Amino acid sequence: MISAIVLIKADVNRIPEVAQAIVEIEGVSEVYSVTGDVDLVAVAKVARHEDFADVIADRLNKVEGVRDTQTHIAFRTYSSKDLGEAFSIGGD
């Protein structure tokens, strides 16, 4: 799977509705309401790079209340499970 992090600016009075509409899009696994320069952060996961066009450009960007987005495609994903396994190599 290929992951992307999407930073979303939304109409302030519609943040909960925008978040709910985005998380219902196939390919979006999570949406976070955050503080800072953006209102929401979404995580999209697809099988092929080309699929981001459908998930992000054709669907997420067209959700009513979305004002602006920035998409960051991940090169590699790290998790606490991955890091624990890496540090345990040769530890036996």
| 32 torsion bin: left (phi>0), alpha (psi -120 to 50), beta (else) | beta
pTM for the full predicted model:
0.84
Please name each of the domains of the chain with its CATH number. Answer: 2-87 (3.30.70.920)
Mean pLDDT for all residues in the chain: 91
If you search the block for the tokens 């992951």, which residue do you land on?
3
Amino acid occupying residue 88: S
The tokens describing 5, both together, are: 């992090």
Q: Is residue 83 scored above 70 in pLDDT?
A: no
For residue range 8-32, what is the model confidence (pLDDT) as tens digits?
A: 999 999 999 999 999 999 999 999 9
Q: Residue 41: CA atoms inside 13 Å, Cβ hemisphere, count? A: 9
